[in-house]
Structure 1
């Protein structure tokens, strides 16, 4: 990969983990893999986007010598939607059939892993109880968190006896328009309430 000049505006790299910023290249130079075997439906891209917004880029994508993305196409698509100008990327020396096999393996190996529902339920329940943390950034919505906890309870794990599933009390307010929504959000935020803006 050719050396890329760092952007003059450092704010363009604020979303990238500092230790990865030396790997940053302009997104406009990166090509989406037209042969990508993995589809990214809206729900998946929304989860990736939320993760990038909350945590920034914590791992590099992988590109070939032509700067076609072999691993991280979902991240690339979400980053473009967020208006990011740069992503950290590493260039692999693989090419041809080896590069194609790697791209498939990168997607497939995730499928063959399994959840440890005991640990997952504990951690999701703990995050759900932290009012200053948006647990939806984990990629699990409230129903999925409840399902994960119920699955763990169904397998009768003795380690779940000390889990406290917190009661949550929420208020859904329908606003007339975006301005009213923003005004109410700022008011409640200043009063110390944990809020997030939703558009349904």
Structure 2
């Protein structure tokens, strides 16, 4: 009986992915384009008899963009994807992702400027830390030079406005509420 060495963790195949086919980096088919980290796929539109196109960024589970797609000349089949259409779709999907990131940042990070009791201008920020287990926010004050003066942990539902920020500063940076 011979001892067969077990594969090392570095070379062992992942059972969850070993049956999946290796996807080519570039693919240019009439209904499927894969290039530059994006996949465009023409699909049957579930809402009507037409076609739709979905744009998926590599590594993402959900499409960044789904929109209507043009019918071909026969009015039955979709128009084939081409370089120009793919580039336009990549640009549009990238813009959608950028807007989502900006919106998320705006929701999680707030900033107001208030005057301290000594007349100095202070920046007060609220940074929400989303978490399924223990969400919270950090209320922070900075002087005109960007030096942190104080920071307290508050509820993620804390509403940062000039009045709340000024009250916090006037109260000696003690935790609100």
- Bigger fraction of residues in helix: 1
Q: TM-score when scaled to structure 2?
A: 0.28
More strand by share: 2
Per the normalisation by structure 1, the TM-score is 0.26
Larger Rg: 2
